[in-house]
Structure 1
């Protein structure tokens, strides 16, 4: 396919996402920013001797997650997963093109770090569009430096960039991360949430909307999505797919793989000597609702020596609070440390 035809195909997909966004302000900002960054990316690619199609597509897709969901937390890694699915399904991009675009989107929020050429190009195009759209706004120091550097590279007159003050990171309250997670899960589970015949509907849509492919009229088994939604509400904040994990957090397997990663180490087998589950731990079951391993997940609320109480989603398409055997059909537990913050790579 002729190169620019690929850009047109991506534009069509992006237009569809934006047209489905119900918030007019998000939709309008999406059109302005995505098309603007795509054009800036093509300009910088020509300047730097890089492929303009790859650069333009990265710019077109870099904030697709925010435009689809309205969410900005960890939108770069989550957007990289959205873009991966779009490029795969279009079927016209080479593996090299897909990898370059995925990498650029994954890293575009880290304006302080210096990465590969396409990563850097997208960061520069992103900040340049923001500046040109409103040069009166203030920018973090690293972003301001990029704006000055890229405008100089393009031979533009020296620009004055307002620099925002660096503010200390807000600290969480005294309540622990796991306690917050359990509180959110218990409140949602007790409502209860009820799915429609297609495992979506008004109650379930807010849980699954984070993930590509979710629709208001069509969902999936949503126990892991219930846990992910609770995590988004209470912490820990995670992207929709962790790099190196085989699937998204809409699947129980993703939670297991993530917790077992050497750099994470949060998984505890059910029979681990000396381990006692606590409120706010995640519990992974085997063959609880099907004949498959790791087929269900919930949030521990309470326990005694022989039983535990858990908040769970998608038990017969409903959420609820359930008392279960402490060991029967339990694969293990995931204990997320209070100090955990997503950071990759």
Structure 2
């Protein structure tokens, strides 16, 4: 069979935003990093939960596939306003705390696993530029949380337990509490869910051309002392290519939004990973959109086509106001 040529860029349509998504730093979010929906895939209008990485909350939205609109809705508190009020399962890694100015979840991904939405913090040391110049790396205790809320945003619960795996597993411990950009330190940017498990995708580290996915039992993450049954999956995406978001397709394969391991704004692609065959299929590159970094992905539709399954994928980016959503169309090989 003749190999199909990769398109120059995957085809897409712009999605209009109605209203504005909030940010912890300003009136309009410029740092959207995750999206999930509890609605069944066949629905054309779906209620979604959107997360940005600079606040203490998520936000509901309504996505209309036919109208190509994304309407901002009400905020969903995840963390208490006062950090001293945090009640979480497990213990935060003790590495200092820089103060109220960096009290954020640093939310990097969202997933639905009935009956909860799950939102993950980056579990990362943060490289940033202080006003006085230069660069520094900060530990933020709140970034090491995983949060979950009910379908309607009720009863937020928090857990630090993922750090138990990050600091003890051989493949992860050398990178725990290290700078992602300077030392390939841990940086989680994605979360997916299926079969009672959560799957965390890592932008960093990438070793020997393989990005990492960490899988744990979802219920155990919020139960003190329960067995997390952690498993590590290695994904051969290539040198310095990490995971920016991922979702599990109806057939069990992973659809991965891949991008540079360094925190850059170029070279983002959609890739298909079959873990049973340990095989990655590069579906194609995403068209550049200024200096934006595509970081949030929602499977919008999934239907049979003449050359394979046709998927429509909603992608939002960190950088532009309201995420500059685009709907990509891609054919998935059987």
The structure whose RCO (Cα within 8 Å, separation 6+) is larger is: 2
TM-score by length of 2: 0.29
> Which structure dedicates a bigger proportion of its chain to helix?
1
TM-score by length of 1: 0.28
Which structure would you say has the larger Rg? 1
